[in-house]
A = this chain, B = another copy of it.
Amino acid sequence: MNDTSRIKHTSLAARVMPAGQAASLIHDGMVVGASGFTRSGDSKAVLAAFAQKAENDHTRITLMTGASLGQGTDGALATAGAIAMRLPFQSDPVMRTIINEGKLAYIDENLSETAAHIRNGFLPPIDIAIVEAASVEADGSIVPTTSVGNSAIFVQQARQVIVEINQAVPVEIQGIHDVFLPEDPTGRAILPITDVWQRIGQDVITCDPQKIAAIVFTNQKDSPAETTSGNAAAEAIAGHLLQFFNREIAVGRLTPALRPIQAGIGKIADAVLGGLAQGDFQHLTMYSEVLQDSTFQLMDSGKMDFASGSSMTLSTECYQRVFADFENYRHKIVLRPQDITNAAEVIQRLGIIAINTALECDIYGNVNSSHIAGSQIVNGIGGSADFAQNSYLSIFVTESVTKGGKISRIVPMVTHVDHSEHDVDVIVTEQGLADLRGLSPRQKAETILEHCVHPDYHEELSGYFERACRRGGHTPHLLEEAFRLHTSLAETGSMKTPLLASI
């Protein structure tokens, strides 16, 4: 049953149609901007219907979103060959494979940048916006659901708008969004956020009702977040970080409120944030992208006062708990556009503690978050560089090894650099924590070798470092063997081959 009371602009009720009909508005070569951020608040019906249509008529589009979509939508679209270009982030295993095959042009962008690139005309103009909504207001304004992402800029710039009203989202969600569109195009407005809770915009996305070409009703929850429990490595990492924060408090650089926290995606970062519940912290806040289960656990335990993000991506259990008692949470959260959550200006001003996950780190503190063997993309850079570059403290977490120990995640030289040593203050593995602040490259290497490396790889990596130092340089490397661990992995299935018997 379509709850038409969710459409307060009366004449728009006439534009309600099935998803398939709305999808037929999307033609070959179009540029589509769709809502959705870390699988939340994404299009659940129209993009799926479009994937089906494209399988038959070979329509291909450019698809921009906030970040990753749920529901397997990216995979279905990629399989259908419906996507010529995709940006700025995806995390779908099927789409990833097709990207790595070179069949789909993927622009893996800093999440803060897409809105500016659209405004500046660095990206093609948007034909159609598809936005999930809780309701449409009397003036055509759109009430978003569990994410804001790039929805506001898409609606502002698109010629036509398709709204998906998701009845699975309670209308009470209205009010948790803070939508601000910077001025345009000659320079940007000051973003006057000086506290995580501060609102600077509206609680809806303004939309000219004339542009709304279709309204589709859905009734489907967001794809739930995957939860991890009992991960020993994550617990060890959380333990090291807790100790580190306690030392920082003891020397007076931090207080028990720490600073506003950003926590990235990946199993470890969420577990680490959950681990803060074990510490003597008070009045914690978040200024992050994704509000995860751990955010609400910290609120429930009374340790966290407020969280700002661009989406809520929760497990089924946490989602139910939060929406069953929404009045208890609504004044503790705000969802913003991703060019505000990830704005350099605000991240610097608030003095964020950023915690992101690395695929691999090198002995000098450079971090690869995106490419296996320098070539195969996993997800993309996402917002990690926005935060790493501008935070008060940029922390990267990772297990020291993966694949049963056959791969060391600390290597002589990373095969792809997403975050240079200048943007990495602390590296934590289950082995320990390396505090890299105020160190030169050689000192960083000594610290990382001492604290972060798995014992199985210690001799190998410190041997490399010593021999490189003998050759010299500010950041000593032996180019002819900088990737020998990686090529050995490719040849033998393990980095453990005894390479350096000759030392």
Contact = CB atoms under 8 A, between A and B. Distances in A.
Interface of A: 85, 99-102, 105-110, 113, 117, 120-124, 186-190, 192, 194, 251-253, 343-345, 348-351, 366, 371, 373-377, 381, 385, 389-390, 392, 413, 415-418, 420, 422, 425, 437-440, 442-443, 468-469, 471-477, 479-480, 482-483, 486-487, 490
A487 B480 contact: yes
A349 B194 contact: no
23 contacts: A100-B472, A102-B473, A105-B440, A120-B253, A122-B425, A124-B438, A187-B349, A344-B348, A344-B390, A345-B345, A366-B417, A375-B468, A375-B472, A375-B473, A375-B479, A376-B472, A376-B473, A376-B474, A377-B473, A389-B389, A415-B479, A417-B420, A479-B486
A363 B420 CA distance: 19
Nearest to A252: B121
Closest 4 CB pairs of A and B: A375-B473, A417-B417, A377-B474, A344-B344
A101 to B, nearest CB: 6
A195 to B, nearest CB: 9
A195 B485 CA distance: 51
A251 B124 CA distance: 13
A397 to B, nearest CB: 20
Contacts of A105: 439-440, 442-443
Contacts of A420: 381, 385, 417-418, 420
Contacts of A468: 375
Contacts of A385: 420, 422
B479 A483 contact: yes
Contacts of A192: 190
B475 A123 contact: no
A422 B111 CA distance: 11
Nearest to A122: B437
B374 A475 contact: yes
Given A122-B438, A190-B192, A422-B110, A375 B443 contact: no
**Most chain B CB within a 10 A radius of its CB, from A105, A374, A472:** A374
Given A253-B120, A471-B375, A188 B477 contact: no
A110 B106 CA distance: 30
A108 B444 CA distance: 13
A92 B464 CA distance: 29
Copies per assembly: 2
Contact of A438 (B100, B117, B475): B117
Nearest to A473: B375
Contacts of A482: 374, 483
Contacts of A350: 187
Contact of A107 (B344, B348, B376, B439): B439
Contacts of A377: 473-475
A105 B366 CA distance: 18
A190 B198 CA distance: 14
A351 B474 contact: no
Nearest to A389: B389
Given A187-B351, A420-B418, A123 B438 contact: yes
A371 B417 CA distance: 15
A101 B473 CA distance: 6
Contacts of A109: 422
**Most chain B CB within a 10 A radius of its CB, from A99, A251, A381, A392:** A392
**Most chain B CB within a 10 A radius of its CB, from A120, A373, A440, A471:** A440
A420 B471 CA distance: 27
A295 to B, nearest CB: 21
**Most chain B CB within a 10 A radius of its CB, from A251, A349, A469:** A349
Contacts of A344: 344-345, 348, 389-390
Contacts of A440: 85, 105-107
Contacts of A438: 107, 117, 122-124
A13 to B, nearest CB: 38
A389 B377 CA distance: 22
Contacts of A189: 349
A394 B276 CA distance: 39
B477 A415 contact: yes
A253 B375 contact: no
Contact of A473 (B100, B442, B480): B100
B472 A101 contact: yes
Given A110-B422, A480-B483, 18 more contacts: A107-B439, A121-B251, A121-B253, A122-B425, A122-B438, A123-B438, A190-B192, A344-B348, A345-B345, A374-B413, A374-B479, A375-B476, A375-B477, A415-B479, A418-B420, A420-B420, A479-B490, A482-B483
